[in-house]
Structure 1
Amino acid sequence: MIRIAIVEDDRHDAELLQDYLKRYEKENSVHFQITVFTDGLDIISDYRAEYDIILLDIQMKHLDGMSTAEKIRKLDEDVIFIFITSTVQFAVQGYTVDALGYVLKPVPYLAFSQILHKAARQIEKKQSRFYLTLDTDGGQLRLDTAQIYYIESQKHDILIQSEKGGFRTAGPLKRMEEMLLPLGFAKCHNAYLVNLLHVTALLPNVVRLSNGTELPVSRARKKIFLDSFTDYVGGIQR
């Protein structure tokens, strides 16, 4: 299933896009879950990173499509934007939010189906990756687990250090451990859960990561952590 949001303030255009999506479903044996918003403000209010594709009208009354995409991109680095626009002038700015492309109004089905097909191929590749959905102060964030360096327990919160920066969220480290151990993570210390993908060196009582961070390896965890790393490198599943 592919989850699609339509953000379009013109009712006729929104209905046309829904009709096109239903036609594409039948022709390509795929299933869409479709949600419709009538303005950019509606989708960014309490935004949840749960969509695969967002079809965005660029010119809307309250919050235009480009501003909407910029706000969403800060929370969701993987969602695919396709702009629906009446003029190329606005659409060319799409590179700033890494948009897949645009379709000009009045929207022809052929052009729409072609860019949708391109998006669907990208989603197939993404679905082989694993994501964490985090509740942060800025809203809900979707993060590729491959981009995480390590996770640190800090009292009642956890701090996630990643290629995209640091993110704080509530919850015990144990919950993350249960989710991530099967994905190549291991605890080097009661306070640290490490992504073995980013381990570059194992030093006496210290593990070094690809971002230069060095974390302590506790005596109690040392053997289990070394075994986990050896298995990970060798592709062994215990």
Structure 2
Amino acid sequence: MYRTLIVEDEADEAQRLTDLLRRYGQAHEVEFKTTWRASAMDMLSDKSRYDLCLLDIQMPGIDGMEAAGLLRTYDDQIPIIFVTNLAKYAVKGYEVGACGFIVKPATYGNLSLALDRALRAVAQNAGRTLTIPTDSGIRVVPLRQITFIEVMKHTLTYHIVGEEPLDTRGSLVKLEEELADAPVVRVSKSCLANMDQIAFLRNSELQMSDGECLRISRTHRRDVIDKVTDYLGGRR
């Protein structure tokens, strides 16, 4: 599922983009969960995490080009597809790392080509790995395959989708520092959870994709709820 932000001041055009995304998803067997924001200010105040942004350029107040520059100050990875009435903005758009450009009214053909490029970029961004030393050698594990990591007496245990847990010596504090920009959240003093692997959030626990339930400590509960709802787009 691709969390997709549509920033467009015209409701009809936002709906058109949503419908075209749905059509593309059906054709390519992928799903888009869309959120609509009607202005650049609304976009910049939204702290949720998205995989993809469709951004109108000509909007009242802060225009889309300026908003994209501001977005890049804290997220240099998210693919941006610009949508506008004027093709002259195309060159300037690529200065802020746009991966696509669509002239209104959006059509399935031009959006489809832009989405092909954008989703390739998303796949590349999702390729982060962890290098884990073990008794038998170094293991390189994609971060997306790790559900959670816990520590007990200086032993880190990596819980990996479809595999037995993997143990190694280490510090959870140092690992958390290394993963500061990754989608992980501290659940308790001894546990980090991968937010991409969360199946369900309850008030006092996380249920992970492998069925494990992680108890959220009282001291971390508010932080966990805030980070997980932001990441999964709960504030919509």
- Structure-1-length-normalised TM-score: 0.54
User: Aligned partner of 1:31: which letter?
Assistant: E
Residue-by-residue CA offset, 1:108-142 (whole Å, 9 max, x unaligned):
211111111121122122222269xxxxxxxxxxx
Shift of 1:194: 8.4
User: Aligned partner of 1:12: which letter?
Assistant: D
3-state SS of paired residue (1:75)? coil
Please give the alpha-carbon distance, in whole angstroms, between the structure 2 residues aligned to 1:109 and 1:46: 28
User: Aligned partner of 1:95: which letter?
Assistant: Y
Structure 2 residue runs of 5 or longer lacking an equivalent are 131-142, 144-154, 159-165, 179-236
Please give the alpha-carbon distance, in whole angstroms, between the structure 2 residues aligned to 1:122 and 1:128: 10
- Confirm or deny: 8 A CA contact 2:5 2:50 kept in the other structure: yes
Shift of 1:62: 1.7
User: Aligned partner of 2:92: which letter?
Assistant: Q
Count of aligned pairs = 148
- Confirm or deny: 8 A CA contact 1:186 1:194 kept in the other structure: no
3-state SS of paired residue (2:20)? helix
Residue-by-residue CA offset, 1:183-237 (whole Å, 9 max, x unaligned):
x9956xx989886xxxxxxxxxxxxxxxxxxxxxxxxxxxxxxxxxxxxxxxxxx
Structure 1 runs of 4+ with >2 Å offset: 177-180, 184-187, 190-195
Please give the alpha-carbon distance, in whole angstroms, between the structure 2 residues aligned to 1:92 and 1:113: 20
Determine the structure 1 residue equivalent to 2:26: 26
- Confirm or deny: 8 A CA contact 1:85 1:105 kept in the other structure: yes
Determine the structure 1 residue equivalent to 2:104: 105
Shift of 1:46: 4.4
Counterparts in 2 of 1:26 and 1:192: CA distance versus 1, 3 Å = closer
- Confirm or deny: 8 A CA contact 2:79 2:118 kept in the other structure: yes
Please give the alpha-carbon distance, in whole angstroms, between the structure 1 residues aligned to 2:32 and 2:175: 39
Shift of 1:47: 2.8
Please give the alpha-carbon distance, in whole angstroms, between the structure 1 residues aligned to 2:70 and 2:156: 32
User: Aligned partner of 1:101: which letter?
Assistant: G
Please give the alpha-carbon distance, in whole angstroms, between the structure 2 residues aligned to 1:109 and 1:129: 31
Larger radius of gyration: 1
Determine the structure 2 residue equivalent to 1:213: none
**Higher relative contact order, structure no. (Cα contacts within 8 Å, ≥ 6 residues apart):** 2
1:85 correspondence with 2:84: yes
3-state SS of paired residue (1:54)? strand
Residue-by-residue CA offset, 1:144-196 (whole Å, 9 max, x unaligned):
x9xxxxxxxxxxxxxxxxxxxxxxxxxxxxxxx9799x8x9956xx989886x
Residue-by-residue CA offset, 1:61-87 (whole Å, 9 max, x unaligned):
121101111111111111011000111
User: Aligned partner of 1:103: which letter?
Assistant: I
- Confirm or deny: 8 A CA contact 2:8 2:38 kept in the other structure: yes
- Identity of paired residues, percent? 34
- Structure-2-length-normalised TM-score: 0.55
Please give the alpha-carbon distance, in whole angstroms, between the structure 2 residues aligned to 1:192 and 1:20: 41
User: Aligned partner of 1:36: which letter?
Assistant: W
Please give the alpha-carbon distance, in whole angstroms, between the structure 1 residues aligned to 2:55 and 2:3: 14
Alignment of 1:97-176 (within 5 A): 97-129=96-128
Counterparts in 2 of 1:194 and 1:20: CA distance versus 1, 3 Å = closer
3-state SS of paired residue (1:76)? coil
Determine the structure 2 residue equivalent to 1:36: 36
Counterparts in 2 of 1:59 and 1:185: CA distance versus 1, 3 Å = farther
Please give the alpha-carbon distance, in whole angstroms, between the structure 1 residues aligned to 2:129 and 2:45: 26
